[in-house]
Amino acid sequence: MNPNKALWEKGDFTRIATSMRESGEALVATLGITEGLEVLDLGCGDGTTAVPEARLGANVLGVDIARNLVQAGNARAQQLGLASCRFQEGDATDLHDLEDDRFDLVVSIFGAMFAPRPFDVAKEMVRVTRPGGRIVMGNWIPNDPTLVAQILKISAAYSPPPPEGFVSPMTWGVEENVIERFAAAGVSADSVSFDRDTYTFDFSAPPSVLVGEFRMYYGPTINAFDAAAANGREVELQAELEALFEGQNASGSEDVTSIPATYLRVTVAV
């Protein structure tokens, strides 16, 4: 089994995605989507950004490596009556069943960053984007003090070292790496631009309950708890994550969670 696929089919990412819908919709509103635009949403999950893209009139193909998330995305699109939004399985490192220059816009929000072989990923995103089209990525930033970078940093401290040659997904949050990867795919540095933006995790229960959701349903956190359990350190990991989530809760109430997280927004003119 492909470990990248196994990680994301573990648990149920849709449980986390429900806390990210509002920010997904707000981001999509800034993408300049017009009626009939051909959009690839890569690493789409269950459609946090794909669904609003289709609602704005785009023809959207969501591609994701996790079979359960593709099924969940198709179920959401069907339930919402969105015929212009469909989801299929695929790997960002090799989009062989998608032809060259097919899309006006490729969007990947915290998606393609999690695929291995980042140079292949950049090459594939460029290949399927038509000349004059755009790629927009949202990438978490390494060592950023906000939520997701800190979850991954804390988790890493409880996990065995990654295998030799492993490239951290967080390297997609470093501008020089992004420029280098797109340059290798034939895109000049002046066609790549960067912004810092915020995604907010909204949850209608206390931060400790959201930690519980990550522990039960978010593949990387499930793995971290498994590794911590092997060393008898589950309680310690739980306490560290609860302190993080509580410390970052900006809702003004202990009973409701609203945690802003900074990310790097990358725009590539192809």
Ligand X SMILES: C[S@@+](CC[C@H](N)C(=O)[O-])C[C@H]1O[C@@H](n2cnc3c(N)ncnc32)[C@H](O)[C@@H]1O
Q: Which residues bind ligand X (CB under 6 A)?
A: 4, 8, 13, 17, 20, 24, 43-45, 48-49, 64-66, 69, 91-93, 109-111, 114-115
Residues facing 209 on adjacent strands? none
- CA-closest candidate to residue 215, choices 170, 154, 259: 154
The residue with its CB nearest to ligand X is: 45
Give dist(CA 126, CA 104) in Å, integer. Answer: 11
Looking at the Cβ atoms of 117 and 233, the one nearer to ligand X is 117
Between 61 and 66, whose beta carbon lies closer to ligand X?
66
Instruction: Please state the closest distance from residue 45 (CB atom) to ligand X, in A.
Output: 3
Q: How far is the CB of 249 from ligand X (least distance, A)?
A: 20
Cα(181)–Cα(135) distance, integer angstroms: 13
Whether 215 contacts 238, CB under 8 Å: yes
Close Cβ partners of 145 (under 8 Å, ≥ 6 residues apart): none
Output 25 or 191, the one with its CB closest to ligand X.
25
The nearest distance, CB 4 to ligand X, in angstroms, is 5
Residue with smaller CB distance to ligand X, 44 or 192: 44
Q: How far is the CB of 201 from ligand X (least distance, A)?
A: 11
12-31 as b/e, with b when 16 or more CB fall inside 10 Å?
bbbebbebbeebbbebbeeb
DSSP state of 219: H
**111/207 with CB nearer ligand X:** 111
Q: How far is the CB of 262 from ligand X (least distance, A)?
A: 15
